[in-house]
Amino acid sequence: MRHLSFAQVCARRLDRQGLISPLPGAAAVAARLGGVHAQVLSAAELSIGLRARDTTRADVRKALWTERSLVKTRGPRFTVHLLATEDLPMWTGALSALPVQPHKLLTEKQAGQVVEAIADALRDAELTTDELTEAVVTRTGPWAGDRVMDAFQGKWPRWIEAMSLSGRRGAMCFGPNRGRQTTYTNPARWLPGFQPAEARPALTEVVRRYLYAYGPATPAHFAQWLAAPKRWAAELFDSLGAELEQVSVAGTSAWVVAGDTAVPSGLPDGVRLLPYFDAYPVGCFPREHLFPGRAAERALAGGQAGNFPVLLVDGVVAGVWHQRRSGRRIHVTVEPLNGLTAGQRRDLDDQVQRIGEILEGTPELTIGEVSVGPHA
């Protein structure tokens, strides 16, 4: 068994996730990371821009809405992600195979009818939720429009319960906003002839990609990243047998793809500013090593990563930061948990300038307390 230090693992992850050597474009970043979390789209633009040389938010939007090499849909944890369009068959095949809780408001037959209705309604259209409700009810029946699903301030139509299933099966993805309204469309418009891949090969490929970019990792780490049951993930790892190899990380067993035990020659160094829900803090484990000491108290929200933008020093979390835009000015406040050396301060200045380039604005840096709380 090969023995690795956590510092070696950080260096490997930084390198493979494009935080040392840039990746060739937005789609390549999304493919490498297993998707880029896009609940906050500006954060997704930053996550990509920090990993793809000379890429700005305009380039990301072009890749998403014009070139369609990115697609905005549900990914790991069933949350909104930017995925590489060419990976849609793999992701829909894998996500459709995950064990999930049964529907409470829809029968299995009704859920299937809703998925088919959504796919048909969106085949050549971009519809808002209200427009999609009308289209689904027309294709299924009045029961789909019954307002029986609990919402924030009222009730949603019954068919909404099958939205997640529709995304996992590849019946719908996000379209461009219509003003302030979200629209949905069919991912076949991004990838003509699109069909979900077979479940088993798709799941195997997702495991291999996760371990390449985030490993070494345990089945429990993979389960948390994907929002899958731990027992199911353990059985999946067991079923892969000789395709995986066990290593030791700081005295704890973890797994990599068989034969993939290489690490960079140097230790991790440098400063990076990673935005909300960035893949590195969200997908890398163990948390107690990645968020050491006070970092766990300051940069985690109830043990959950991603709710704060983080300052990364030498591969581990060493503070938080926040950016506020006012016209073209971008006010960046960074709160280090420890003092920065002169070299680290120069790296920080470079990161702030890069953020300005990505977001197409003029950045201003303040070192001080971040008063903004965690993102929901």
Considering the chain, what percentage of its residues have pLDDT values greater than 90? 95
The answer to whether 181 and 128 are in contact (CB under 8 A) is yes
- Output the pLDDT for position 3: 95
- Output the pLDDT for position 89: 97
What is the per-residue pLDDT across 46-73, written as a single tens digit (0 to 9) for each?
999 999 999 999 999 999 999 999 999 9
Q: Reduced to 3 states, what is the DSSP secondary structure of residue 335?
A: strand
Nearest CA to 13 out of 284, 254, 351, 355 is that of 284
Kindly give the residue spans of alpha helices, DSSP state H, lying in the chain. Answer: 6-16, 26-33, 41-49, 57-65, 88-96, 108-121, 129-140, 163-168, 199-214, 219-226, 230-240, 279-283, 287-290, 294-299, 342-359
- Output the pLDDT for position 151: 86
* Tokens 């408001």 -> residue: 105
Lookup: tokens for 77:
């944890």
- Output the pLDDT for position 289: 96
Q: How far apart are CA 65 and CA 214, in angstroms?
A: 29
Mean pLDDT by 10 residues, the chain (376 residues): 95 97 96 96 97 96 97 95 98 95 94 97 96 97 95 91 94 95 96 95 98 98 97 97 96 96 92 98 96 97 95 97 95 97 96 97 97 91
What is the per-residue pLDDT across 339-356, written as a single tens digit (0 to 9) for each?
999 999 999 999 999 999
Lookup: tokens for 94:
């894998």
Lookup: tokens for 307:
């709710």
The reply to whether omega before 76 is within 30° of 0 (cis) is no
- Output the pLDDT for position 33: 98
Q: How far apart are CA 354 and CA 348, in angstroms?
A: 10
- Output the pLDDT for position 296: 97
pTM score of the predicted model: 0.95
Nearest CA to 94 out of 252, 247, 233, 299 is that of 233
Q: Show me where the domains of the chain are located.
A: 1-35+215-368
The answer to whether 47 and 275 are in contact (CB under 8 A) is yes
- Output the pLDDT for position 153: 81
